[in-house]
Amino acid sequence: MKHLLSAGDLDRAQAVTILDTAAAMAATQERQIKKLPTLRGRTVVNLFFEDSTRTRISFETAAKRLSADVINFSAKGSSVSKGESLKDTAQTLQAMGADAVVIRHHASGAPHRLAHAGWTAGAVVNAGDGTHQHPTQALLDAYTLRRHLVGLRGGTDPVGHDLAGLHVAIVGDVLHSRVARSNVQLLHTLGARVTLVAPPTLVPVGVESWTADVSYHLDDVLDQGPDAVMMLRVQRERMGGGGFFPSPWEYTRGYGLDARRLARLPEHAIVMHPGPMNRGLEISADAADADRSVVVEQVANGVAVRMAVLYLVLAGQEQPTVDGQIGASA
Ligand code: CP
């Protein structure tokens, strides 16, 4: 795997390899000394043109746990504010010897451009581009689902590596959500069934071609007994003048997860949210903090998943061990 640009680029074997590698990484993080020498001498640049808490910090933590040198670049306070282009920024970082660039950008397709325009020789990992893709979020969500629910529906994989038969409801602002797009693709690849639930105004044009069912009625979908409910953030910053729903109160009434709706779920069902949460809008405080909520665990799993991704894009072809030096086996 040279780059990770889209969840749709992963076939089942590649996705399972990443999830299995993440499990191996997570096991190393139980130890007293968490740092591995695996990426010693490699440089990872975190190139963030859009705000982030979880993704930026977990990529930084992941790279450091693998002993890589890390350069954190935020567009705010950089020469981007003087008008410097993505190309010139990328070439500047390349001159500093980046082996991998982790990029978040407000423009859909920016990571693809970076990977294929020859502006960097390193691996490119998409940390979220516009409304397009957020593949490592989908991977950490799949990892979290696997830890809680695999085998529940008697999937076809005897060692429980896929999510076959699971039903995941993805609820809310699908229109603006790169998390939803990546999750629909990856969950389908891993054998799960997805239902998207949103008001008609927040369902993307062309959704018929997605590998998911669509419903406008949250209570009906909850009554189907989904194994997981993934709430999406209402992305007000992408809504311009608004008009996507009559009022926050009416959105919450139709599509918010609260204690009353939690009670409709099967006992085993988990509640997910990629964060940051709009408490009181798409999710109530008691749903966000419920025992069945795995929101904080999703963040923790993000470190192991991002360690796995960095390891596989930077060291995968050199057959190192998780514990070992890159090239030790060469
Ligand atoms: N889930 C997610 O991408 O969160 P951040 O925007 O905080 O990185």
Query: Domain of 71: which CATH number?
Result: 3.40.50.1370
- Owning domain of residue 82: 7-133+299-328
Q: How many residues comprise the chain? A: 330
Identify whether residues 180 and 275 lie together within a single domain.
yes
pLDDT band at 87 (very low <50, low <70, confident <90, very high): very high
- pLDDT-derived band at 158, boundaries 50, 70, 90: very low
Question: Which atom of ligand 1 is closest in space to residue 134's alpha carbon?
Answer: 3
8 A C-beta contact, residue 102 and residue 73: no
At residue 326 the predicted structure's pLDDT band, cuts being 50, 70 and 90, is very low
Which ligand 1 atom is at minimum distance from the Cα of 275? 1
The answer to whether residues 34 and 182 belong to one domain is no
Checking if the pLDDT of 329 tops 90, the result is: no
pLDDT over 80 at 9, yes or no: yes
Mutate to test the pocket of ligand 1, among 46, 50, 55, 56 (most ligand atoms within 8 A of CB): 55
* 240 confidence band (pLDDT: 50, 70, 90): confident
Q: 2 in a domain, yes or no?
A: no
Question: Which residue has its alpha carbon closest to ligand 1 atom 1?
Answer: 274
Looking at the structure, tell me whether residues 84 and 129 fall in a common domain. yes
Measured by CA distance, the residue closest to atom 6 of ligand 1 is 52
Both 270 and 164 in a single domain? yes
Residues 208 and 112 in one domain: no
- Give yes or no for a contact between 51 and 77, defined as CB atoms under 8 angstroms apart: no
What kind and span of H or E run contains 71?
strand 69-74
Question: Could you count the other beta carbons within 10 Å of the beta carbon of residue 275?
Answer: 17
Burial grade of 67 (CB within 10 A; 0-12, 13-18, 19 or more): middle
Q: Has residue 234 got a pLDDT over 60? A: yes
- Whether 21 has a pLDDT exceeding 80, the answer reads yes
18 plus 78 within the same structural domain: yes
How many domains does the structure of the chain reveal? 2
Instruction: For residue 289, tell me if it sits in a domain.
Output: yes
Task: Output DSSP code: residue 31.
Answer: S
CA 79 to chain centre: 28
pLDDT of 28 strictly over 50: yes
CA of 198 to the centre of ligand 1 (A): 21
53 and 150 co-located in one domain: no
User: 282 C-alpha to center of ligand 1: Å?
Assistant: 16
Name the residue at shortest CA distance from atom 4 of ligand 1: 54
For residue 225, being part of any structural domain is answered with yes
- Does 322 map to a domain? yes
Residue with the smallest CA separation from ligand 1 atom 3 is 55
Q: Are residues 206 and 73 part of one domain?
A: no
Domain shared by 162 and 241, yes or no = yes
**317 and 283 within one domain:** no
Kindly state whether residues 225 and 279 are assigned to the same domain. yes
Tell me what pLDDT residue 325 has. Answer: 52
Residue 103 is assigned to a structural domain of this protein: yes
Whether 179 maps to a domain, the answer reads: yes
The mean pLDDT of 115-133, rounded to a whole number, is 95
pTM of the model: 0.94
**Ligand 1 neighbours by CB, cut-off 6 Å:** 52-55, 128, 137, 274-276
Asked if 147 and 292 sit in the same domain, the reply is yes
In a domain, 1, yes or no: no
- The preferred substitution site among 49, 54, 177, 301 for testing ligand 1, maximizing ligand atoms within 8 Å of CB, is 54
Question: By C-alpha distance, which of 137, 94, 131 is closest to 110?
Answer: 131
Q: What is the mean pLDDT of the chain?
A: 92
CA of 324 to the centre of ligand 1 (A): 30
Inside any domain, residue 280: yes
**pLDDT of res. 327:** 40
**Cα–Cα dist 24/3, whole Å:** 21
Quote the percentage of the chain above a pLDDT of 90.
82
Question: 12-28 and 178-189 are packed helices; what angle lies between their axes, rounded to 10 degrees?
Answer: 100
| 325 alpha carbon – ligand 1 mean position (Å) | 30
In the block, tokens 């602002």 appear at 173
What is the C-alpha separation between 188 and 65, in angstroms, rounded? 31
Q: How far apart are CA 112 and CA 135, in angstroms?
A: 13
